[in-house]
Chains A and B, each alone.
Chain A
């Protein structure tokens, strides 16, 4: 089945120790997103890739970076995790749309829960 896969499902890191979360998709979608979701809060978009074009949200801290080496994979790098970065990180994809308001239903992975000690 076509899907969005996130590894690992649970990640524990130490304060200040760099960590990388990975996402892969078999849907061949052009758009990939990274969201941060803290307890009892809405998923918050960090950034997304439209093909190779990187789009950073204005309020995403510099501590968060992303890489997309090919269509299938996208990585979230947290350079120096702080206690406040503990959260669920969600990866999602959507189809390329020829119009600005096309069918951009998002398909989500199961998420990676990050704990910072």
Chain B
């Protein structure tokens, strides 16, 4: 069974600091990879996704993620965070077959003005 690990459960940053959230998965085959975000009081929504092609994926609001197959990783980055990025971030992996997706435990990001 596939699994997803998010190593940072709670991150606190000052505005303008750089962000990197780690995500590793266990499945050895072809995967689709996602980062979802949940802003306070709102529902989960897609931040970015990787299916194939360029392993560096650009998402909304200046976020990007890099798929490194050899490391089974899909880390999320943003060069300069804003207070409005305060949210919970979930990494998710889909290994195919009836669109089954496994989520990580989530990382709560708090950005201090």
Contacts and interface: CB of A to CB of B under 8 A. Distances in A.
Contact of A104 (B30, B94, B104): B94
Contacts of B32: 101, 104
* 8 residue pairs, one from A and one from B, having the closest CB atoms: A100-B96, A104-B99, A108-B44, A42-B103, A101-B96, A110-B43, A42-B105, A43-B103
B106 A42 contact: yes
A24 to B, nearest CB: 14
A97 B97 CA distance: 10
A106 B4 CA distance: 17
Interface residues of B, number: 28
Main secondary structure of the interface of B (DSSP, over half): loop
B99 A97 contact: yes
Contacts of A97: 99
A45 interface: yes
Interface of A: 4, 31, 35, 40-45, 48, 50, 55, 90, 92, 94, 97, 100-111
Interface stretch (B12-20, B45-53, B62-70, B76-84): B45-53
